Chains A and B, each alone.
Chain A
């Protein structure tokens, strides 16, 4: 198929960006979206032009590196997948595809389609861990039974890949889904309960400091999340936060 691409080009974080049109031809429906981008870039390099910079790495939907806003949707039109798992069979001959970086004040553009997501790192550093040192003497892994239900729910929350689609999808650019996924994972496990109060307070505080917006329950994040992280996690974080605020006051 032949396609028209409208792509955001921006030299660096300080430069002013703009949409630029490109044509790609003979695209196979079996190609992945990023392979189509490879074809575009190979053509640009051959012409001596600078290729379009975009983040990507594992190309199997797990590293969370890829991050494109495709036709207005984070990770494109398909559900439950990342951009690298999107295939060209979702498009048809003659389509125009608009490709932009994540749009959020807390995710400044570095170049073209690449954004800076280190705000997420700082939220994790504020409390996304259990304070246990490495030693050969932690208690046996089976010492504390954990109900299958709790373990499965913790796992569902823990599958977050930190891509930032939730922020990009949200009209408030809120990072509540991302933050609540980590808060939930630990809140659901006995190992995480010990520091639950401080964790939720510190992570939420950092999230606000980074300039992410608040949650108004539109649910766009859940729809666009490639890993199907549930809004339930935000509700759980709110409960944890409330309980922690009371405990702290």
Chain B
């Protein structure tokens, strides 16, 4: 279908990006000074893109809803960033990172994009070190690596449990340098509320100043959306409270296709929920699975005793524990990919083996790691016959050095000491692989409108591997978009400044103002959160870790009904011309109420199990893989890109057929 041209360059996969870069059009430095680019969102993707575009000489306007670009939710990424440096000499290579990512994504990503990602991954580490990012180092002064789920090499660079923070602060510092030079105009506490198209091209945005409530027009020769994922459609997720899909959804309504919305990652290691008042869920880094062992009791009566608080986990003997990941997946054990680990936890809990009062928790146990490290340290320090306590102390010190801040975070929330008793964890919504459809240039179906980072659908297929989100965000922003956008902007050197007094801007501004006016004047009966929580419940129960036709059809009907009620009964206090958090939330939830329906439609359409999308109708019935997810390559090896036509239910499906030339399509096995 011509309308979905992925624009993947010809030639062998290893040469595509290099050859392509050699041939694309460039903009000379004098002309760059006359070209404006808007970047919405300042996380790893948006921050790195804004800084790099400004360094190149473009005039950048960057937007963040927080009071500083440094607070974007990339900051919360804990574990690390992958790069095919092969510093460990354990057999890593660009091809292997590419292969792991495509396989980990369950063969639903675009080969050429993923290869390019692997190719630039090493540059990211070089760039970040040059910026002063303090990655962990070993005693020889060289960079240290650890392992993440779904791979057999150590390629993850990290800065304690705060890698996202350090990488974002690196991009933030690069932005600051450009802000100081006047090349980036930074708009903090601003929210994009619509994109403006002129003659079919993206030419600007309508934004609201969140402090004064003023509606502003901003024009540019190209617009870049880097606003992250839509995980908050579930209400409870590991996303920040303000994380939202509004920018991505608004551009969808203006012509950008939305791809694979049902591909959502439920992260296996989050702190379990405790009550209805809960506002968000907290992730415990996947890096913990390097050393933690996951288990539930082998006997139902023990599980029951734990649920009722009559038994402590440390009282359960080794032989009465079921290390179910090690049992089911001996090759990868506790380091299976996230989707597999999450479903396995749900399977055990659904069977009654959950370990807390709600029955929705499993253990992540560090006792074995503490003992192993303790013995190792005793050897290193020449301590003969160390006592049990000595081994524990030595081992604890190592575990503390590796994961101290995560353990502290856990203790503050749960009020239990994870050195003494195993952590309790349960899966929670964490990341969305689906997003705005983009071609090889990261351009959406609207000319001049780009989408990068988590907000696009491109690189992770149906499941993202750990430490790959940071890699993708920075690859897009530092090394891919700055090239590809130049090719487009080379045709804009004669355009001149884009005026904001055109009818297109008038119309977009009026629509934005009308909607705000509606919220402020509607005399409804329920708060925004009331609807958001209801939507989240439908999504979690019917579009969560396990989905079936009946549930998805119900979800579609229920979300539609909820949306209709929302537009009649929502209540927003305060005014429009002031700082008004309830008004901000209202707009975001209104968009989630549409996105949620498309999400369920996409999940219904894809009658196969792949990656984070598990359809109960599609499982292996026998053989070694019995009970595992069953992918259907014959019918579903495509990207489902949805075109907006009025109501979510009217959306039209376009298929981008995925071609696998460099990797053989086969069943993912972690056994």
Contact = CB atoms under 8 A, between A and B. Distances in A.
B408 interface: yes
Contacts of A118: 67-68, 188
Given A60-B282, A134-B479, A136-B479, A78 B412 contact: yes
Contacts of A117: 67-68
B127 A53 contact: no
Interface of B: 48, 51-52, 55, 66-68, 70-73, 75-76, 85, 87, 120, 123, 125-132, 134-143, 159-160, 162, 165-166, 169, 172-174, 176-177, 179-180, 186, 188, 211, 238, 240-242, 274-275, 277-280, 282-283, 408-409, 412-413, 415, 478-479, 482, 527, 529, 571, 573-574, 578-579, 581-582
A45 to B, nearest CB: 5
A192 B170 CA distance: 12
A147 B128 CA distance: 17
A34 interface: yes
A46 B530 CA distance: 11
B415 A89 contact: yes
Interface in A33-47: 34-35, 38-39, 42, 44-46
Contacts of B579: 12, 53, 110-111, 114
A46 B526 CA distance: 7
Contacts of B179: 121, 125
Nearest to B68: A121
Given A145-B141, A151-B137, A50 B573 contact: yes
Interface in A103-144: 110-111, 114, 116-118, 120-121, 124-126, 128-136, 138-142
Contact of B573 (A51, A58, A111): A51
Given A129-B177, A132-B127, A189-B134, 5 more contacts: A44-B573, A61-B409, A85-B409, A141-B126, A191-B130
Contact of A63 (B75, B85, B176): B75
B130 A142 contact: no
Q: Closest 9 CB pairs between A and B?
A: A145-B141, A129-B173, A155-B134, A141-B129, A154-B134, A134-B52, A129-B177, A63-B71, A57-B240
Q: In the complex, which range does the number of interface residues on chain A fall in? A: 35 or more
Contacts of A42: 527, 529
Contacts of B160: 155, 159
B139 A139 contact: no
Interface of A: 11-12, 28, 30-32, 34-35, 38-39, 42, 44-46, 48-51, 53, 55-65, 78, 80-81, 85, 87, 89, 110-111, 114, 116-118, 120-121, 124-126, 128-136, 138-142, 145-148, 151-152, 154-155, 158-159, 161-162, 185-186, 189, 191-192
A35 B277 contact: yes
Contacts of A61: 409
A151 B529 contact: no
B68 A120 contact: yes
Contacts of B211: 110-111
Contacts of B573: 44-45, 48-51
Nearest to A117: B67
Nearest to A60: B282
B169 A158 contact: yes
Contact of B159 (A12, A48, A136, A155): A155
Contacts of A12: 578-579
